[in-house]
Amino acid sequence: MYKLWQILDPRGILLLIAVFQVAIGLLIHILLLSTVDLNWWEDGRPSPLKAAAAYERSQAGLPY
């Protein structure tokens, strides 16, 4: 194995692996966002209202 690292530059290989993983992660997220069932940005659920959240926190005895 050490002969392989004498032939290849370890810094370049690690950089290549990091770039590949970022590209794969972005690709997977874009594919999921393009589907109807797995799109978490437009899933039809309304965001909770601030007043309702404040009421629930006050009932739980939490500040704000």
Q: What is the mean pLDDT of each run of 10 residues along the chain (64 residues)?
A: 88 96 97 85 66 77 71
Report the pLDDT value the prediction gives residue 50, as an integer from 0 to 100: 66
* Token pair in block for residue 35: 């589907």
- The candidate with the shortest Cα–Cα distance to 53, out of 64, 40, 42, is 64
Report the pLDDT value the prediction gives residue 43, as an integer from 0 to 100: 65
